[in-house]
Each structure stands twice: as structure tokens, then as C-alpha cells.
Amino acid sequence: MRIFAGLCKMTHNAAAAFEEVVSTIGKALAHPARVELLRLLEQGERCGCEFVPLLGLDPSVVSRHLAVLSRAGLIVSRRDGVRFMWRLVRPDIPRLLSCLANLRCSREFE
């Protein structure tokens, strides 16, 4: 509730920026493969090459999913020689995923 109370006090520009950020994150979470990538990154930094066998997807598809998550500000990469290492931007992203899952689960049991 505090988020929405704070939103009411925001200027129109700040509210629009908030809505844009939340929308971008929502779109990034809209594909199961991207959610799985975030869950894999809960365990720590990983090379992008590790995701191909774990997800069973083509490397170009994995790369596109990583790019979407990166543009949403959820993950970042660093170069390590010829490899790109990916990590979560914030340690509380798994908590966000858990909260979203709990919202869904609580509705199923009402």
C-alpha cells in the first residue's frame, strides 16, 4: 500500500516514469524462459554459455532473452575474456519473484 500512497504524491512525470519502469519489468517477466534465467542467477553469477543446455534453447534465443532482462535493469553482464558473465542487479529479485508467485497461489486457494 505504501507504494501506491507514494504514487499519489508523485508529480505526473514521476508517476509516468514509475509506470514505465514497472511496465518494462512486467514485460521482461512475461516469458517463462526469462523467469527461469532469473531463477538460475539466484545461485550467483554465470556464463551466458551455461544457459543454453540448462534451458534447451538455441544460443541466439538465450541471448535475446538475456538482452530483454538487461534492458529491464534486472541483470548485468561483464566480460571475462571471451565469455560474458551475468548476474542479478539486486539480491532481492528472487524475493520479487516469490511475491509474484504467492499472489497467484493465494488466489487459487480462495
- Using one digit for the tens of pLDDT, what is the confidence trace for 54-103? 999 999 999 999 999 999 999 999 999 999 999 999 999 999 899 888 88
CB 72 within 8 Å of CB 27: yes
Q: Which amino acid is at 87?
A: R
Complete DSSP assignment for 44-86: --EEGGGHHHHHT--HHHHHHHHHHHHHTTSEEEEEETTEEEE
- Given a cut of 80, whether residue 106 has pLDDT beyond it is no
CATH of the domain at 87: 1.10.10.10
CA 4 to chain centroid:
21
- Using one digit for the tens of pLDDT, what is the confidence trace for 2-36? 455 555 566 778 888 889 888 999 999 999 999 99
Total count of domains within the chain: 1
Q: Range of 32's domain?
A: 2-108
